[in-house]
Amino acid sequence: MSVPSLSTALRDAGVKCEVEALDGLAVITAESGHERFRDENLRRRVLELARDHGFTHAAIELVGPRPDHGAALHRD
């Protein structure tokens, strides 16, 4: 498993992201362009690249602006 080579391959494929490894899982945090991940072909390509670089699974985390209160969920 190679995080640097997967990161490079994803960027070459046009996916701006950060990659972390958790055992065989590649955690891919998308920096922007979340709407692009609606495309099933792009999601398949990301998984294919992850497998090509030694990972068994891939998770895509979509990071967006946080609400003003700073929590992911509003709590009373």
- Going from N- to C-terminal start, the domains of the chain cover 3-62
Instruction: Decide: 12 and 19 in contact? Cβ < 8 Å.
Output: no
Q: How far out from the chain centre does Cα 39 lie? A: 14
- Quick: pLDDT tens for 7-62: 999 999 988 889 999 989 999 988 776 778 888 998 899 999 999 999 999 998 88
d(CA 71, CA 58): 25
Measured in residues, the chain has a length of 76
Is the per-residue pLDDT at 64 higher than 80?
A: no
Element holding 25 (H helix, E strand): strand 25-30
Architecture label for domain 3-62: 2-Layer Sandwich (3.30)
Cα–Cα dist 68/40, whole Å? 32
